[in-house]
Amino acid sequence: MIEDVVRDIEKWSLYGDNEEVMTSAIQLCKIDFMEFGEDWMSWSNHDIVDCYVKTIEETLDDILYQLEAQNAGEQLIDDLLNCPQDERIDYMRVIRGMRSGVENTFLSLFYYFLIHEDIQKKYGN
């Protein structure tokens, strides 16, 4: 049965408008199924959202930590050299990237729901 479920999850690569996002949803479904087995099929949408929220929180924490570290480095160099640097963090680029990441995350969550519901229907939970 494991091979059948994984194959049915992978079939979803034929669908969706955004290949990268669909691939992400497929990989997350496979990872969760392989880690939790048949229990994964009984998850509610609420359970899935909880997993996504935890992942998003960790990712955003990592991004903010990196930005804070880069900003602290810029400040330290400014203080040591007693002059501002020409190169700075491009915060607008970072924000646009974060926006795109959030949009892709929600789309991935939508695809995850579709895949999960399909597997639930086929394998009976």
Residue 13 DSSP label? G
* pLDDT given for residue 24 in this prediction: 93
- Write out the DSSP string of 53-73: HHHHHHHHHHHHHHHHHHHHH
Q: Which residues contact 78 (CB under 8 A, 6 or more apart)?
A: 84, 85
DSSP 8-state secondary structure symbol assigned to residue 82:
T
pLDDT means per 10 residues, the chain with 125 residues, are: 92 88 95 94 94 89 87 78 73 83 92 96 82
pTM of the shown model:
0.79
Q: What is the pLDDT of residue 2?
A: 86
State residue 101's pLDDT score: 87
**pLDDT, position 17:** 82
